[in-house]
Amino acid sequence: MTRYAYFEGKIVPMEEAKVSIAVHAFNYGTGCFEGIRAYWSEAEGRLLIFRPIEHYERLLRSARLLQMQLDLTAQQMTDITIELLRKEGFREDAYIRPLAYKASEGIGVRLHGLRDAFAMFCVPFGQYIAASDGARVCTSSWRRVDDNAVPARAKITGSYVNAALAKSEVLLNGFDEAIVLTHDGHVSEGSAENIFMVKGGKLVTPAATENILEGITRDAIMTIAKQELGIETVERAIDRSEIYGADEVFFVGTGVQLVPIIEIDRRPIGAGVMGRTTAKLRDLYFDVVRGLKPRYRGWCVPV
Contacts 24+ apart (CB under 8 A), 53-56: 53/78, 53/301, 54/216, 54/219, 55/98, 55/216, 55/254, 56/98
pLDDT at 127 (0 to 100): 76
The reported pLDDT for the residue numbered 2 is 74
- pLDDT, mean of residues 218-224: 98
* Helices 52-65 and 216-229: angle between axes, nearest 10 degrees: 140
> CA–CA separation, 94 vs 1, rounded Å?
11
Spatial separation of the C-alpha atoms in residues 271 and 256, rounded to whole Å: 22
**Which has the closest alpha carbon to 156: 19, 32, 14?**
32
Q: What pLDDT is attached to residue 131? A: 72
For the four alpha carbons of 275, 54, 81 and 97, in that order, the dihedral sign comes to negative
CATH node for 4-124:
3.30.470.10
**C-alpha 182 chain-centroid distance:** 19
pLDDT (0 to 100) of residue 224 = 98
Four-residue CA torsion sign, 20, 26, 28, 33: positive
Above 80 in pLDDT, residue 95? yes
Neighbouring residues of 39: CB distance < 8 A, sequence distance ≥ 6: 47, 48, 50, 93, 289, 290, 291, 300
pLDDT bin (cut points 50, 70, 90) of residue 143 is: very high
The pLDDT of residue 56 is above 90 = yes
DSSP 8-state secondary structure symbol assigned to residue 235: E
CA dihedral 110, 102, 55, 94 (to 10 degrees): -140
CATH superfamily for domain 135-289: D-amino Acid Aminotransferase, subunit A, domain 2 (3.20.10.10)
Confidence of residue 189 (pLDDT cuts 50, 70, 90): very high
Asked if residue 130 has pLDDT above 90, the reply is: no
Overall average pLDDT of the 142-171 stretch? 96
pLDDT of residue 83: 98
Is pLDDT of 171 > 90? yes
Q: What is the DSSP letter of 239?
A: B
Q: Say if residue 32's pLDDT is above 80.
A: yes
- Give pLDDT, residue 133: 79
- Helices assigned H by DSSP within the chain: 24-28, 52-65, 74-88, 160-172, 216-229, 240-244, 276-289
Task: Give the pLDDT confidence score for residue 76 in this predicted structure.
Answer: 98
DSSP bridge partners of 203:
198, 233
Handedness of CA 194, 239, 166, 176 (dihedral sign): negative
User: What residue ranges do the domains of the chain occupy?
Assistant: 4-124, 135-289
Name the DSSP class of 145. Answer: P
> Is residue 63 over pLDDT 80?
yes
Q: Distance between CA 244 and CA 241 in Å, rounded?
A: 6
Contact 27, 107 (CB under 8 A): yes
The predicted model gives 43-72 an average pLDDT of 97
The rounded distance, in Å, linking the Cα atoms of 179 and 6 is 34
Position 247 pLDDT exceeds 80:
yes
Q: List the catalytic residues.
A: 155
Which pTM does this prediction carry?
0.95
Please answer whether residues 284 and 228 qualify as being in contact, where contact means their C-beta atoms are separated by less than 8 angstroms: yes
Rounded Cα gap, residues 146 and 26, in angstroms? 22
What's the mean per-residue pLDDT of the chain?
96
Instruction: Compute the distance between CA of residue 128 and CA of residue 35 in angstroms, rounded to an integer.
Output: 12
Higher model confidence: residue 1 or residue 272? 272
Secondary element (H or E) of residue 263:
strand 257-264
